[in-house]
Amino acid sequence: MKRICDLLQELRPEFDYRESKDFARDGYLDSFDLISLVTMLEENYGILIDALDIVPSSFASVETIAEVVRKNGGKV
Protein backbone atom coordinates (compact mmCIF):
# COMPACT_ATOMS: atom_id res chain seq x y z
CA MET A 1 0.00 0.00 0.00
CA LYS A 2 3.02 2.26 0.42
CA ARG A 3 3.45 2.31 -3.35
CA ILE A 4 -0.13 3.58 -3.77
CA CYS A 5 0.51 6.27 -1.15
CA ASP A 6 3.68 7.28 -2.98
CA LEU A 7 1.79 7.56 -6.28
CA LEU A 8 -0.89 9.70 -4.66
CA GLN A 9 1.76 12.00 -3.19
CA GLU A 10 3.45 12.24 -6.58
CA LEU A 11 0.14 13.12 -8.21
CA ARG A 12 -1.07 15.69 -5.64
CA PRO A 13 1.67 16.35 -3.05
CA GLU A 14 -0.27 19.14 -1.36
CA PHE A 15 -2.65 16.71 0.37
CA ASP A 16 -2.22 14.38 3.33
CA TYR A 17 -4.20 11.39 2.13
CA ARG A 18 -4.25 9.82 5.61
CA GLU A 19 -6.70 12.55 6.68
CA SER A 20 -9.40 11.65 4.16
CA LYS A 21 -11.87 8.79 3.97
CA ASP A 22 -13.10 9.82 0.50
CA PHE A 23 -10.58 11.48 -1.78
CA ALA A 24 -13.10 12.65 -4.40
CA ARG A 25 -15.63 14.00 -1.89
CA ASP A 26 -12.90 15.86 0.00
CA GLY A 27 -11.54 17.40 -3.22
CA TYR A 28 -8.23 15.53 -3.18
CA LEU A 29 -8.79 13.95 -6.61
CA ASP A 30 -10.81 15.27 -9.54
CA SER A 31 -11.70 13.46 -12.76
CA PHE A 32 -8.42 14.42 -14.44
CA ASP A 33 -6.50 13.13 -11.41
CA LEU A 34 -8.37 9.82 -11.60
CA ILE A 35 -7.29 9.29 -15.20
CA SER A 36 -3.70 10.17 -14.32
CA LEU A 37 -3.79 7.85 -11.32
CA VAL A 38 -5.19 4.99 -13.41
CA THR A 39 -2.31 5.42 -15.86
CA MET A 40 0.22 5.50 -13.02
CA LEU A 41 -1.27 2.38 -11.42
CA GLU A 42 -1.31 0.51 -14.73
CA GLU A 43 2.33 1.36 -15.39
CA ASN A 44 3.54 0.63 -11.85
CA TYR A 45 1.64 -2.62 -11.39
CA GLY A 46 1.78 -3.91 -14.99
CA ILE A 47 -2.01 -4.17 -15.23
CA LEU A 48 -4.91 -2.83 -17.25
CA ILE A 49 -7.74 -1.45 -15.16
CA ASP A 50 -11.19 -2.30 -16.49
CA ALA A 51 -13.11 0.79 -17.58
CA LEU A 52 -16.03 -0.26 -15.37
CA ASP A 53 -13.74 0.13 -12.33
CA ILE A 54 -12.89 3.75 -13.16
CA VAL A 55 -15.48 5.44 -10.95
CA PRO A 56 -14.87 7.80 -8.01
CA SER A 57 -15.96 5.22 -5.42
CA SER A 58 -13.15 2.90 -6.56
CA PHE A 59 -10.62 5.61 -5.74
CA ALA A 60 -12.08 6.90 -2.47
CA SER A 61 -9.24 5.63 -0.27
CA VAL A 62 -5.95 3.78 -0.37
CA GLU A 63 -7.85 0.60 0.51
CA THR A 64 -10.36 0.92 -2.33
CA ILE A 65 -7.53 1.70 -4.77
CA ALA A 66 -5.68 -1.41 -3.58
CA GLU A 67 -8.86 -3.46 -4.18
CA VAL A 68 -9.03 -2.17 -7.77
CA VAL A 69 -5.38 -3.04 -8.34
CA ARG A 70 -5.89 -6.56 -6.94
CA LYS A 71 -9.11 -7.07 -8.90
CA ASN A 72 -7.26 -6.25 -12.10
CA GLY A 73 -4.35 -8.61 -11.41
CA GLY A 74 -1.88 -6.48 -9.47
CA LYS A 75 -0.11 -7.47 -6.27
CA VAL A 76 -0.31 -4.87 -3.52
Average pLDDT, the chain: 96
Domain segments of the chain: what residues? 2-71
- Decide: 23 and 29 in contact? Cβ < 8 Å: yes
In CATH, 2-71 is 3.40.30.10: no
Tens-place pLDDT, residues 22-39: 999 999 999 999 999 999
Residue 25 has φ and ψ, to the nearest 5°, of -60, -40
Q: SS in 3 state form for 19-71? A: HCCCCCCCCCCCHHHHHHHHHHHHHHHCCCCCHHHCCHHHHCCHHHHHHHHHH
The Cα 15–Cα 33 span in angstroms is 13
Is 0.85 topped by the overall pTM? yes
Confidence at 13, pLDDT banded by 50, 70, 90 = very high
* Over residues 64-71, mean pLDDT: 98
